[in-house]
Amino acid sequence: MRVVIEPDYEGMSRKAAAMVADLVRRKPDCVLGLATGSTPIGLYKELIRLSREDGLDFSRVTTFNLDEYHGLAPEHDQCYRYFMEKNLFEGLKTRPKRTSVPDGLARDVDGYCASYEKAIKDSGGIDLQVLGIGGDGHIAFNEPGSSLGSRTRLVVLTEETITDNSRFFASADDVPRFALTMGVATILEARKCLLLASGIKKSKVVREAIEGPVTSQITASALQLHPDTFAFLDEDAADLLELKDYYKHVEKMYGEHGVGRRAAVAATR
């Protein structure tokens, strides 16, 4: 895993967005995996800016979102389809060719989840997957204890996740207790993964995910097994990393010798 530490959230978001934009320019029909939550909003704002000011063209791009609350309609202001429309799709000068967010109202849940997996495969697979990390170390809604071989499925949310997400609802009682989510194995099949984390509250779980053992109790730790993952962090999120100075040294050396960007580009071809 390559760990990129920026001074602040804005710098981290710009750096991550530059990697996404580079892929879209090189492969206009690429497949992007997208995440919701507060952390990727800065990345999405930068992509909107690049779309409107620099002509970054999303018209041939396909997107798949990681997850969705079970039981929320697409027009609900806390569902993830609504989030993506408001925070990315509506702002782009050219919308992606096809956007997919799991259907929170699917009746045949098992059948629907299997069809979501098939749709990803039929698209050619995800070229780049954007990820956040939950307070309990989850990626997507793969809560602690999720199999590292898991696929898209219905999951029960932990009390910690419900509490964390209650800030977006009128009360914790309004937060759905179930969600549809891509599995850990589904995520690991993406050709490149971008893990984003910001703020001191994430520093402990970031350390566990990046430097701790690979374990189903911290599903983000499975990214250590992925051959091409970048973790974009601000200083606060990186605060507890034991190898923080080394990660910064790596980026400095790549920059001085001009090989870092070439390596990142080659890895997504």
Catalytic residue numbers read 67, 136, 138, 143
* In the block, residue with structure tokens 């929320």: 72
Reading the block at residue 92, the tokens are 């782009």
For 60, half-sphere exposure in the C-beta direction (CA atoms, 13 angstrom radius) is: 10
* In the block, residue with structure tokens 């010798």: 257
> End-to-end CA distance of the chain, in Å?
18
Closest CA to 69 of 99, 129, 109: 109
Reading the block at residue 63, the tokens are 């997107």
Alpha helices in the chain (DSSP H): 9-26, 41-54, 80-87, 109-122, 159-165, 184-188, 203-211, 244-257, 260-267
Alpha helices in 27-74 (DSSP H): 41-54
